[in-house]
Amino acid sequence: MKEGELESVPALETHDLSVAYHKKPVLYGVDLTIPKGQLVGIVGPNGAGKSTLIKAVMGLLPLRSGWVEVFGQPFKKTKTRVGYVPQRESVDWDFPVNVMDVVMMGRYGKLGLFRRPKKKDRDIARECLDKVKMLPFANRQISNLSGGQQQRVFLARALAQESDLYLMDEPFAGVDAATEAAIIELLKELKERGKTILVVHHDLTTAREYFDSMVLLNMRVVAFGPTEQVFTVEQLQKTYGGRLTLLSDVAGETERQLSGE
């Protein structure tokens, strides 16, 4: 938390946010107000604009309409308070860098232009690697990592950004069960320290268990609110449309758990 900042200022607020690729709308009219200290899942079918939403929040895509505020200010002013975990496949893992080099990139934003990482930055990077249990791999070339290890490195890099709001694009995709458990534990710890975390997630079976609140997204916000209110068969049907045939079992299961526990 930043000193002098009102508790009531939301971590993230978007209003009427619309994005289009080549004139084809991908997101429209997204209104979200995400209070501080929440672990929020963004769920929706492929092509629903989940990654687009995250990129639009960080100002990486031109907006067709609407605005974004992070901690009550435009992203440009608060970018050092935002940490980002991109999709694992978005980078070339044959790049000639080691684990430590990648985690150090998380410090670059706070350093700014010209300044070089100091010992303090190195210590922070080490701590973050230790938190994801990857410290013994600090000098390992990144191409020699398993999928789960790569994801942990990305997570350590985001931790090294020392942010208040974290935006994570599918951090659970293609990782082993142990890594998945380690990541969710870490996210809960971050939340307890007052951080806000937005996670793009695709696995409906674990979604209900992981997140306090949820954004159901399919080009527009279908539903947004506390998980128990939002994560219902009806809302999921609306989000996934006809594609929910297979998923309805999952949703049915969830419904039963919600009502019958």
What does the DSSP assignment read for 82-121? Answer: EEEE--GGGS-TTSS-BHHHHHHHHHHHHH-SSPPP-HHH
Q: Is 34 left (phi over 0), alpha (psi -120 to 50) or beta?
A: beta
Which DSSP symbol is given to 141?
B
CB of 230 to other proteins, least distance (A): 28
Q: Applying CB under 8 A, which of residues 98, 150, 151, 239 lies at the interface with other proteins?
A: 98
Q: Which stretch binds other proteins (CB under 8 A): 29-37, 38-46, 109-117, 237-245?
A: 109-117
Give the angle 174-176-179 at the CA atoms, nearest 5°: 110
Query: If binding is defined by CB under 8 A, does position 92 make contact with other proteins?
Result: yes
Q: Applying CB under 8 A, which of residues 90, 120, 193, 259 lies at the interface with other proteins?
A: 90
Q: Applying CB under 8 A, which of residues 9, 20, 105, 250 lies at the interface with other proteins?
A: 105
Query: If binding is defined by CB under 8 A, does position 113 make contact with other proteins?
Result: yes
Tell me which residues touch other proteins (CB under 8 A): 55, 58, 60, 76, 79-80, 82, 84, 86, 90-92, 95-98, 101-102, 104-105, 108-109, 111-114, 116-117, 137, 141, 143-146, 148-149, 157, 176, 178
